[in-house]
Chains A and B, each alone.
Chain A
Amino acid sequence: MIRIAKARPSWCHLPFNQPLGFGLQRSLLIAALVTCSSQALAAGDDREALLKRIVELEAKISRMDSIERRLRELETTAVLSDPETYVSKVEIFVDDDGVEHPTKQPGSHSVVTYQRERVYRRQTINEKIEDALSGDASSRVQVGVDAAITMQYANQQDGDGGDADGEFYQLASMDLYFTAELAKNTIFYADIVGLSGTTPGSEIGGLTDINGYTARLRENDDQLNDLSLREAWLQTQLFDQQLSLTIGRIDLTSFFDGNAVANDETSQFLSDALVNNPMLGLSENGAGMAGVYDPKNGFTVKLGYQQSDSTATNLSDSLFQMAEVGYQFNPFGTGVGNYRAWYRSNNNDNGGSLSGYGLSLDQKVSAGITVFGRYGEAETLAGDDDEFFSGGVQFSDGFGFNPNDVWGLGFANTVLGNDDEETLFEGYYTMSLAERLALSFHLTYIEEEPDGADDFSYLVPGFRLQASY
C-alpha cells in the first residue's frame, strides 16, 4: 500500500492521500503527477487545460475504483478467496537439543510430523462442494449392486425323455456388495447374493453347471430361493502393497484359476465349465485365507486355503489348500498373454488327501482377439483321474455392432475317472446397452455320455440381462 503525501500545487486535485491498491490506478496517478509537474514547471499559463485534463483523470480513477470494488465483490461471492487451511505431513530433522531443521544436519534424526499450512488457493464454490462430498463419500460404506436375469430354454437333441426337454427356466440373481476402508490399504468386503428361480442344470443333470450363477452356492438342484453370504472378508496390503492378505469367508476361485476372457458368468460365458476349471474341486465357498504376492512385474504367486465342506466340524477335517504361479508376458510381440499353473490339495472322507493341478492361459493374438485355454487333472477315490480341458476365443474392440460389444466361442470337455464324459459348446454375444446395463444372448450345446447309460444332448438358447450399479 502506497500513500503519497508530497506537497503539490493547489490546482492539482489528485487524491494523493488515498490508499492505492490497484496497479493500473497507481501508474496512471504517477503519469498524471508527472504530467502535472512538468506542465506546471513548464509554464503555468495553460492552467485551464491542465485542470480539465485532471478532472478527466479523476473521473477515470473513480471508475477504476468502482471496477476494483466490483471485482472484489465478485471474488468474494462467486469464488472463495479465504486462505485455505490444511494439514500436511512433513519430514523434519531433530537434533539432540530438540531443535528442528528442515534438512539433515549432523547429529539430527528424521521425524515425521504434521503441520498446518495456510495457503492462498482460490476455489470456486463448486470445487468446495465437490471436495466436501468426495471426502464424505470416502468415509462411508460403499454399496454396489449386481442384478441379473437369465432365461434359458432346453431342447433335447439326442436321447429320450429328458426332464428338461421343452422346458423354460428363469433365474433372478442379485448381489449386494459392501466395501469399507477400515485403515490405510485395509478394506472390509461383503457380498450377499440372492437367487430365485430355476436353471436347466437341475433337470439336465450334467457334470458341470450350465448356469454359472449358481456355482458354489447351490444346495439343492430343484428350486432356488436363497439368500446367501457369498463372501465376507478383510483384506490388507503389506510391503509396499506387493502382498495382499485376505481372510474371512472367501471364494477361492476369485483368486485362483483366473482368466481374462473366461472367468466371469456376469459378462462372459454363462456355463460354469467356461468360468472355472471343474478340477479345482471346490463345491462351495467357506472360511479361509488367500495371500497374493504381486510385485507388478508380470510374476504373481498365490497361496490360499479354505474350508471346503461347510458341514465339517473343524477346519482340519475339510482343509482345501491351493497354490498358483502366474506370469504375464508378450511372446513374440503377438500381444499380452497370461499364463497360470496351480496345484491344490484337499482332505477327503477317508482321512487322506486328493490333489489336482491345472493350467489357465489367455493370449491376445491381435488387439481385439484373445484366445484362451484351460487344462486340469484331479485325483479321485475311484482310482483314475478326472480330466478337463477347455478353449475358445473372445472378440472385442470393434468386432461387434457397437464398440463395447463382446462375443465369444468356447468349448469344454470333462471326463471323470468313472468314464462319465461331458462335452459343451457355448457362444455368446454381449451388447453393452448402457454403461451399467448389458444384454447377452447365449447358445449352449451340451452332450452327456454317462458310463453305462444312454448318451443325451441338449441345445440351450438363452439370454442374460445384467445390471451393475
Chain B
Amino acid sequence: MFSNKRFVRQLQAVFIGLLATVSLNAQEIKIADPASVVVIVNRDSNDISFMDIKSHKIVGKVFLGNNVNPHMAMMSSDGRWVVTGGTRANKAYIIDVATLTLKKEIAVGFAPEHLAFSPDGRYYYQGNPDGDSISVIDMVSMSVIKTIEGLAEPLNITFTPDGSKAYVANYGSHWVGVIDVSRHELLKKIHVGSAPALAALDPERYLGGIKGVSNVSISNDGRYLYAADGDLGIVTVIDSREDKVIKKIQVGADPWRAYMSHDGRYAVTANNGDETISIIDTQVNEVVATLEAGPEMMGINFAADKAFVISSTTGFLYVYDMKSLKAAGRIKIGHVQIETSTTDTADAKLYLASSTDNSVYIIDAKTEKVERVANVGLYPWGTHILDSKDNYCH
C-alpha cells in the first residue's frame, strides 16, 4: 500500500521526468518535415547526410560506425525513420529522422545492400545478397522476426501496392521470388527465361559468372512486373495476379534493369552490354525505340517529360525526350564518377550522388542547369527523397 505522501511524490517525479523529456525532445528536433530533405548515403564516411531541399545545406549527419559502409537508404512512408544496410558491418540501422539519432542497430545477414519497406511501413525487408537471404525487420519491435532463406543473391525487393506480396530479384539466378508477406515465406519461383540452346558452346559466358535479375519493376496499377535479365538480354513481363509470365521482350545486351516512367507508359532498360537503352511501350509490351547511350549505366530518372540516364564512369547524363522517343543531348557533370539519383516529388529536379568528388549535383530537369553541393560526405553512393518515384539504388 502506498501512502498518499509517497504517491504524490512519485507522481511529481513522473511529471517532472515527462516535462524534462518533452523539453529535451523539443530541443533535439532537427527535421520537422521529413519531405523537406534529401537523404544521402555516404559509403566511405559511414554516415547518412540530410540535405535541406530548399537551402541545399546539410542539416545533419548520422554516423553509423567505422567500416559500416552503408549502401542504400530509404525513409519509411510516414517519414519517421530512415533505414540503411551496412554492407560491411552486416547490420541494419534505423535512424530517427526528427532528431537525427541512431535509434537501433540490428544484426542481419551477410553484406546487406538493397532494401524495401512494406507499403504500410510495418516491415522492413533487408536484402543480404552475399547471404542469399532477406532479413525481415518488424518496425514495431525493431527486431528481426524472420530470415527468408533460399534466395540467390537477392538484389532488390518490390512490394505490391496492397502489401500482400513482395517480389525478389535474384541476380544470381534467372528467377523472381514471390514472398507471401503475411507469413514472410517464399511462395514460388517465377522462371524469367532460359539460356539459348547454344549456351553449351559458351561455357565461359554462362558459367564464368551470372547476371540474372537485378530488379523487378512494377506498373503503376501493380498489375504487371518487368524483370530484366542481364545474361538473357530480355525483359520478362509477369502478371502479378496469377504470378505468371505473359511475355518475354528481347532488349539490348546485358540490361541492368527496367525503370518505369512516372506515367507508367514506358519501361526503359539500360543495356550495358551494347551501351543502348530500350524503351518498352507497356501498353503493347514491345520495344518501340532502341537508342544509343553510354557505358556503365547505373540508373534512369524521369522528369519534365525526359529520361536522364546516368553513365557512371563517363560523368555524363544522357537525356531522352520521352514524347518523341529520341535522344535529346547529354549533360556533362564532370570528370567524376556519378552513381545514382533521386527525383523530387514535383518531377522538377534530380539529386545525383557523385562519389569521387563527395558531392551531390542538383539538375534542373527543364533547363538542365546543374548546381553542385560539395562536401556532403565521403563517397556519396545514393540519394533518397520521401515519396519520390525514382528511389532506387545501383
Residues of A whose CB lies within 8 Å of any CB of B are 75, 79, 81, 84, 88-91, 102-103, 117, 119-122, 184, 240-241, 295-298, 328-330, 333, 335-336, 364, 366-368, 397-398, 402-404, 431-435, 437
Contact = CB atoms under 8 A, between A and B. Distances in A.
A435 B330 CA distance: 30
A267 to B, nearest CB: 13
**Minimum-distance CB pairs A-B, first 5:** A119-B44, A434-B202, A122-B88, A397-B250, A367-B287
B357 A88 contact: yes
A403 B250 contact: yes
A103 B375 CA distance: 9
Nearest to A84: B44
A437 B198 CA distance: 11
Contacts of B290: 336, 364
Given A297-B327, A368-B250, A397-B250, A119 B379 contact: yes
A40 B390 CA distance: 59
Given A91-B374, A435-B205, A366 B286 contact: yes
Contact of B198 (A122, A333, A433): A433
**Interface size band for B:** 35 or more
Contacts of B45: 119
Nearest to A75: B67
Contacts of B46: 120
A403 B327 contact: no
A297 B329 contact: yes
A269 B199 CA distance: 25
A261 B378 CA distance: 46
B291 interface: yes
Contacts of A119: 44-45, 378-379
Contacts of A435: 202, 204-205
Contacts, number: 117
Contacts of A298: 326-328
B43 A121 contact: yes
Contacts of B69: 120-122
Given A328-B327, A397-B250, A403 B234 contact: yes
A397 B252 CA distance: 9
Interface in B281-308: 286-292
B318 interface: yes
Contacts of B205: 434-435
Contacts of B88: 79, 121-122
Interface in B307-356: 314, 316, 318-319, 324-330, 332, 335-336, 356
A398 B330 contact: no
A126 to B, nearest CB: 11
Contacts of A437: 201-202
Contacts of B356: 88-89
A443 to B, nearest CB: 22
A175 B9 CA distance: 93
A contact patch SS: loop
Nearest to A121: B44
A102 B329 contact: no
B289 A404 contact: no
A329 B324 contact: yes
A402 to B, nearest CB: 5
A364 B316 CA distance: 27
A37 B45 CA distance: 41
A333 B286 CA distance: 12
Given A84-B44, A102-B374, A403-B250, A333 B325 contact: yes
Contacts of A364: 289-290
B250 A398 contact: yes
B66 A120 contact: yes
Contacts of B43: 121
A335 B288 CA distance: 6
A330 B324 contact: yes
B382 interface: no
B305 to A, nearest CB: 14
A330 B374 contact: no
Nearest to A397: B250
A240 B332 contact: yes
B65 to A, nearest CB: 9
B209 interface: no
B391 interface: no
A335 B357 contact: no
Contact of B329 (A296, A330, A397, A398): A296
B358 A88 contact: yes
A122 B67 contact: yes
Nearest to B44: A119
A106 B327 CA distance: 41
Nearest to B290: A336
Contacts of A84: 44
A81 B325 contact: no
A48 B336 CA distance: 67
B232 A328 contact: no
B233 interface: yes
B197 interface: yes
A25 B220 CA distance: 48
B198 to A, nearest CB: 6
Contact of A117 (B292, B332, B378): B378
A241 B204 CA distance: 35
Nearest to A336: B289
A404 B273 CA distance: 13
Given A296-B329, A330-B324, A367-B287, A402 B196 contact: yes
Most buried by B among A328, A366, A435: A435
A297 B232 CA distance: 30
Contacts of A333: 288, 325
Contacts of A103: 374
A432 B329 contact: no
Contact of B233 (A122, A329, A403): A403
A140 B290 CA distance: 33
Nearest to A330: B325
